[in-house]
Structure 1
Amino acid sequence: MEQFAHHRRRGIAHSTNLVGRSPDWLGSCAFNDAPTPLHIWGVREMNPSLFTMLEQAGDLAEAGEAFFCYMNAMFGLDPEQRNATPGGKRRYRSSFLRLIQGWSFDSNGPEGAVLKGWVESRFGVCPSFHKEAIEQVSGPAWETYVEEKMSSLFHNNAIWVQLDLLFEFCQWAIRRFAFPGETHLTLYRGVNAFDEHWVVERTDKHAAVVRLNNLVSFSSERDVADCFGDRILTARVPVSKIVFFTGLLPSHLLKGEREYLAIGGEFRVSVDYV
């Protein structure tokens, strides 16, 4: 049997967050087994017109268009809406779209650090990997992550507020149109090695408890996951942990490989070999 390193580390976590749930519980198998809805405090209350507008949508595509129109009006995401400086140059405005596109190219790039930082801030679950394993807040790996997550290039235009709205829209869309009545989705992740994941418990060759990063990509299609590694991790992911999925927004904005972004932590997974 192939040997795997077992790690009893629980990971770094905050004692508080903005969803009113214990970060340790959010990052545990216990939450995944019996999840509850998650809502970021104040987002829906401060944006009632958005959710009133969404209630009028007839399907997910119409809701996605309405959401993007709202985000354009609030944050000026279209190039034509960017303010010109006195020198005539367009001022860069950070956008949640660019972060997700950057993540799809490299989850360990600066955009990935900002997204992981948002999860840390809102859910209290810290990353366990960014370019290398993060084991303590005093190490160089943590310092690199913090430097990138706070980059001034991305921290304008209320970027974390944009992500708050994206999460709340995603959760609304899941329950209204995409997966009504569902508590979990079966999703797949291809890996070549467990460098980015901590194997907490290995019960047999085809089953393990693995600590995934605080934000992690899955695919809804096993054949797509095959392209990313010779081991396929299969997990039951609570819908309340899903931050974004392909098809949530109009197709001309973002294209992905049946990708789902989800809050991580410890997951029970089956491990199969391609």
Structure 2
Amino acid sequence: MRDDHDQPHRWYTTNLVGVPAPVLGGVAFQAHPVRLSIAGARASHGGLFSLLDRAGDAAEAREMFGHYMSLAFGLQPAEGCVAERRRWKVSYLKLLQGWGMDANGAAGAVLKGWVESRFGLVPSFHKAPLQRFPSPAWIGYLEEKAASRWHNNSIWQQLDLLYEFCQWMLARFALLPEAVGPHVRLWRGSTRVEEQLVRGTLRERHCVVRLNNLVSFARSREEAECFGDWVFETQVPLAKLLFVPGLVKASLLQGEAEVIAIGGDHVVEARYAL
């Protein structure tokens, strides 16, 4: 039996979404989700959302969002300016690309750190289980999360807007036509099943697992089977989604049809991958 005092899920922090982190990371929120909004994000960029309200379709909204982010955060270097072209400017797009290549890399650490700050959920894994503090795993995560290379361009504010835009798009357009009510059925492959179990057993199939504070899901069981020996099927609240295929104009994570969501405890149906 694990000592819960060594588990990071007990180390909640304050958050900016108005729902206590222990509730947000629990199965009660999964069963009865409510809409979430990051304090100040929409108010600080009211012009963007006023513009979006005039969009006729998802394609036009994507174009508006991409153009606004480029102007607001200087994501496109000035033409003819060699120094500007050479300067590294981190963007939400680069973070998403980094996540797609390796969720346990530096970009993944920054994204998990953003979830800590905005939703109050502490990660449980980054290259290795994050348990008792201090430990080499924790120090490595903290170093990558705070690296100056990824914090030179208001990156958390960019991610705030990405989350708010995702929630706006899900409410306005059918980006996930399979969604039913406030949930969408998704799948996740896993090779670390035993250490993720909270209640129930794999033999029972119906159990509760503790996922990292930010996780990727697949939109079909067949896609999830490529990523683990076991496949979790679960109902994910739309309010926890940060990124879905077709959200932005760039072709990010389209090959995997990957959905990125805020994690926590989930009731799942566990099946062995075929």
TM-score over 0.5 for the alignment? Answer: yes
Matches within 5 A, 1:258-269: 258-269=257-268
Question: For residues 154 and 15 of structure 1, do their structure 2 counterparts lie closer, same or farther at Cα, with a shift above 3 Å needed?
Answer: closer
The code of the aligned residue for 2:35 comes to P
How much does 1:117 deviate? 0.3
1:127 aligns with 2:119: no
2:46 corresponds, among 45, 48, 51, to: 48
Q: What is the CA–CA distance in structure 2 between the aligned matches of 1:97 and 1:251, rounded to whole Å?
A: 8
Identity %: 47
The answer on whether the counterparts of 2:90 and 2:150 sit within 8 Å (CA) in structure 1 is yes
Map of 1:187 onto structure 2:
186
Question: For residues 116 and 15 of structure 1, do their structure 2 counterparts lie closer, same or farther at Cα, with a shift above 3 Å needed?
Answer: closer
How much does 1:83 deviate? 6.4
**Which range moved further: 223-232 or 49-58?**
223-232
The code of the aligned residue for 1:176 comes to R
Q: What is the CA–CA distance in structure 1 between the aligned matches of 2:111 and 2:79, rounded to whole Å?
A: 24
Q: What is the CA–CA distance in structure 1 between the aligned matches of 2:123 and 2:8, rounded to whole Å?
A: 11
How much does 1:159 deviate? 0.4
1:112 aligns with 2:111: no
Question: For residues 229 and 15 of structure 1, do their structure 2 counterparts lie closer, same or farther at Cα, with a shift above 3 Å needed?
Answer: closer
What does the per-residue CA deviation read over 1:51-93, in whole Å, with 9 as the maximum and x for residues that have no partner?
A: 01111112212111110000001112234569654xx762110
The code of the aligned residue for 1:30 comes to A
The code of the aligned residue for 1:13 comes to W
How much does 1:142 deviate? 1.3
Q: What is the CA–CA distance in structure 1 between the aligned matches of 2:229 and 2:202, rounded to whole Å?
A: 18
The answer on whether the counterparts of 1:7 and 1:200 sit within 8 Å (CA) in structure 2 is no
1:217 aligns with 2:177: no
Secondary structure of the residue aligned to 1:138 is: coil
What does the per-residue CA deviation read over 1:196-237, in whole Å, with 9 as the maximum and x for residues that have no partner?
A: x52111245212110000000001122111211221110100
The code of the aligned residue for 1:25 comes to V
Q: What is the CA–CA distance in structure 1 between the aligned matches of 2:108 and 2:30, rounded to whole Å?
A: 23
Q: What is the CA–CA distance in structure 2 between the aligned matches of 1:89 and 1:48, rounded to whole Å?
A: 30
Q: What is the CA–CA distance in structure 1 between the aligned matches of 2:95 and 2:202, rounded to whole Å?
A: 37
Aligned residues: 267
The answer on whether the counterparts of 1:12 and 1:136 sit within 8 Å (CA) in structure 2 is no
- Scaled by the length of structure 1, the TM-score of the pair is 0.90
Q: What is the CA–CA distance in structure 1 between the aligned matches of 2:221 and 2:133, rounded to whole Å?
A: 35
What does the per-residue CA deviation read over 1:174-204, in whole Å, with 9 as the maximum and x for residues that have no partner?
A: 1110358720000001123327x52111245
Question: For residues 70 and 216 of structure 1, do their structure 2 counterparts lie closer, same or farther at Cα, with a shift above 3 Å needed?
Answer: same
Q: What is the CA–CA distance in structure 1 between the aligned matches of 2:189 and 2:253, rounded to whole Å?
A: 21
The code of the aligned residue for 2:262 comes to I
The answer on whether the counterparts of 1:184 and 1:237 sit within 8 Å (CA) in structure 2 is yes
Matches within 5 A, 1:20-35: 20-35=18-33
How much does 1:161 deviate? 0.4
Matches within 5 A, 1:109-258: 109-178=105-174, 182-194=181-193, 198-203=196-201, 205=203, 206-252=205-251, 255-258=254-257
The code of the aligned residue for 1:123 comes to F
How much does 1:246 deviate? 1.1
1:62 aligns with 2:60: yes
The answer on whether the counterparts of 1:13 and 1:23 sit within 8 Å (CA) in structure 2 is no
